[in-house]
Structure 1
Amino acid sequence: MVMMAGLLCMTVLVIVPFTLASARYVVLRSGRPAWLRRRLAARPPHGGMGLGATVTEELHAFFNANKRVTMEQRRVQLVLRDDTQDGAPPRMGVDLDAGTAVVRRRAPKP
């Protein structure tokens, strides 16, 4: 009985949001029905992961301790500041005093 409850919980938390996200993707790509596409396209995109991805990642971390370490490292990287003095050659620079901005292209890969 406990196993059945766990399976039902996983179905509700993972498969249902995944199915809804897939249906949203199909509607946005195909454009049909038009009224639903307009309604879905009017929503502003949010900056994080969706509910299904978050729940799946947490379940993965529950069964695999290495995933928890990876998730914590990602959170730390989001908080850290990127400085131009961190060793890589700068691709862009803005000089507010001179009123200039420099943007360099990346070298094409062979």
Structure 2
Amino acid sequence: MKIRKFLSNFFKSFGGEDDYQAPEPAPDHKAAYLEYKAAEDEAHRLQEEEKEELKQFARLIGRACKSKSSSAGAIINGASGLPMIGGIGGVDAAGNSFGSRHRGIGDI
């Protein structure tokens, strides 16, 4: 209130009228920030959940590939799901190198 009176007197001293209008108080940004922060935290939580789900899926696939190759005594090409002829250095049943899937069984 003292500032308003000071400014009012300041403008009057120059011959002006008391046309000083106090600025409107700034809107409360705290609520908007808290809403933004909550949305950001939720997005981060969902990303972490998705990462964990992908890690679990990768572990599951890894275990399935290991169990197939060790139980059958053959190495399975993880990309095509077909057994390898000649081990990792060979080709799978469709002629693909290990880790690739260019041709399927029906394409031969």
Scaled to the shorter chain, the TM-score interval is: under 0.3
TM-score (norm 2): 0.28
Higher RCO (Cα < 8 Å, 6 or more apart)? 1
| Max Rg structure | 2
